[in-house]
Amino acid sequence: MNVRHAWNWAKIKADPKKPFFAQRSTKNTPHTAVILLRNAEIPMVQNRPPVFLPETSEQVQHALNVLLFMSDFNIEPRPLAFNVLACSSTGLIHYIQIANQHLSLILPTYKITNNGRNPELIPQLLKTFLSSAAYAKVGFGAYEDAARVQEQYGITCKNLLDTHWMAKIMGIGSSSVGMLHNVFGNIQDDYIPGRLSIGDSDDSDNKNNINTSNNGSTSLLGQVIDPRRMDWESFGDREFSSELTRCIAQDAFVTLTTYDNIVAKKFKPGYRPLLEDPSKSCDSARDFLLTNIPRGTALPVRSIHHLLKGPYMSGNMDAVEREAQALALVKSLVEQQVLIPERGDSAPLTFKEPSILGRRVALPGVRSSEDLFNNQQTKKLVAQAFNCRVDELRLMQDSVMSRKPEKIQDLECFLGLYEWLEFLPGAHLDEGDISLASASNSPMSETSMGCGRKEATLMALYLNFGIIAERAKAEPAETRHWATARIQRLLQQGVLVRSSHEGLVRVNPSLLRQLKRIEPSSNRNNGAREVMDSNKVSVAN
């Protein structure tokens, strides 16, 4: 066998700018890496494609060195597959798989760290590789895997690419590598990654290996297992079976192919994406949000995401598809600036990782409570409703609630509730819809036609997204008690009313009618549209 192109390791010098690989050579080939690992007597558990299982810390260091030095073989560096194999019963990491498109390494981190008790024994090169942004690491569920690595070994993984997340923001749901393979895999592939049935294997040696246990553990024959989350501690120190090794290695190779197809938006022939008409779906989602969220009220992306998973979507979709399509719709709404960052948040809204779920966004426009006080007539009317003089409204600026008079506290509570009540569909009935009013002689017909919210729902919205949301986080019990008492006072005063047969709370129709008479709905809509356009221009600039 001709090995003249293999490296002379004594001549390799570290490059400070690129700590993982020396100068690549045009003479390097994938076969060269296999030769170097075999010459180092690192156990090879599969020939085609080659899979190596180092046993000691020194072997891990050497094997990873070869893989990183020779990755991509003199072409632009591509992501390496990153896969954590954790024990299903304890959650502890037993193996970390690193692979390129030609070669896979299964690194026994549990063994070389003394059963996980000494994380400082992790080889330095593996630490450096995981914590550096010089190499991209791609995997299914890579963010969850990185959290496990951080928790168990104290290593912060950087430059991660999660195929599960990348597909999800496209509207493609998945709960396993196999599901993504069904969407983005090659048509000629006949292997379903992620799971295998030991009993289906025709390999007699494999069956013997599985049945034979050196530590008396339960046989795996006939079981369907997921190598990513199998009970490795029951598996013990037995050698990897050929079928199990193939399944683990194939996950890595399929992940790399899936990543390329996701980036290129290359679907398997015959697959039709759920979002076939994204613009139409976004229009429907926007209209749905406009009837459920007040303009200008900032909510986390996570909340918008969960809201769109509700009755707006078809009941024929399963939970995985619903989750992915809702997230894809939120992403499209942000890109179209239908949803914008909250005030004071100038950072761009990108969907590169799940941290976006904690960012707060809002429908462009002015919050309803602010809108009332921007108009001198509505401001005066609201003050009169609570027996306040206009000059007394300055007391609302006091940060200590106990110093505020009862009527000011009632007014503050009303303003927060008003945001979640006045904009709802059906509020136009307060202006007098003769056709609908004549359709029913019931005195409650106007107060039950789609307006209002259940008191428990109203309380949850007010405490989590209202003007006292920050106070509710710091003092949840006290704030809830205060809000409950205020709502009851507002109901007793007649500012709010409750439907007797549905239990919905709404603004008193006579008060709402007066407010709308001062500010006609046509002007309100035009003003909101102008605010939206101005916000879009400011964001674009």
Return the percentage of the chain with pLDDT > 70, whole number: 74
Q: Which ranges constitute the DSSP H helices of 375-445?
A: 376-385, 406-418, 434-438
pLDDT for 204: 38
- What is the pLDDT, as a whole number, of residue 9? 39
Give residue 227's pLDDT.
67
3-state secondary structure string, 466-515? CCCHHHHHHCHHHHHHHHHHHHHHHHHHCCEEECCCCCEEEECHHHHHHH
For residue 286, is pLDDT > 70? Answer: yes
378-436 pLDDT, tens digit per residue, is 888 888 888 888 888 888 777 777 788 899 899 989 988 888 887 654 443 333 333 33
In this prediction, residues 270-289 reach a mean pLDDT of 81
Residues in contact with 447: Cβ distance below 8 Å, sequence separation at least 6, in sequence order: 497, 499, 504, 506, 509
Q: What does the buried/exposed string (b/e) look like for 263-297 if buried means 16 or more CB atoms within 10 Å of the residue's CB?
A: eeeeeeeeeeebbeebeebbeebbebbbebbbbbb
Measured distance between the N- and C-terminal CA atoms of the chain, rounded to whole angstroms:
64
Give the model's confidence band at 142: pLDDT under 50 very low, under 70 low, under 90 confident, else very high: very high
Lowest mean pLDDT among 53-57, 448-452, 461-465: 448-452
Cα gap 349→164, rounded to integer Å: 20
CB 258 within 8 A of CB 177: yes
pLDDT digits (tens, 9 = 90+) for 148-195: 999 999 999 999 999 999 999 999 988 888 888 888 877 655 555 555
The pLDDT confidence band at residue 1, using thresholds 50, 70 and 90, is: very low
The pLDDT confidence band at residue 239, using thresholds 50, 70 and 90, is low
Task: Give pLDDT tens digits for 240-259.
Answer: 777 778 778 888 888 998 99
Q: Which helix (H) or strand (E) holds 539?
A: helix 521-540
Number of H helices, E strands in the chain: 22, 15
Which domains does the chain carry?
9-264 (3.30.420.10), 278-362 (no CATH), 368-540 (no CATH)
In the predicted structure, residue 72 carries a pLDDT above the cut 80: no
* Residue position matching structure tokens 């069956």: 207
What is the pLDDT confidence band of residue 221, given thresholds at 50, 70 and 90? very low
Would you state the pLDDT for residue 273? 79
Coil/strand/helix, residue 83? strand
Render 24-35 in DSSP notation, one character per residue.
Answer: --TT--HHHHHH
Model confidence band, residue 145 (pLDDT cutoffs 50, 70, 90) = very high
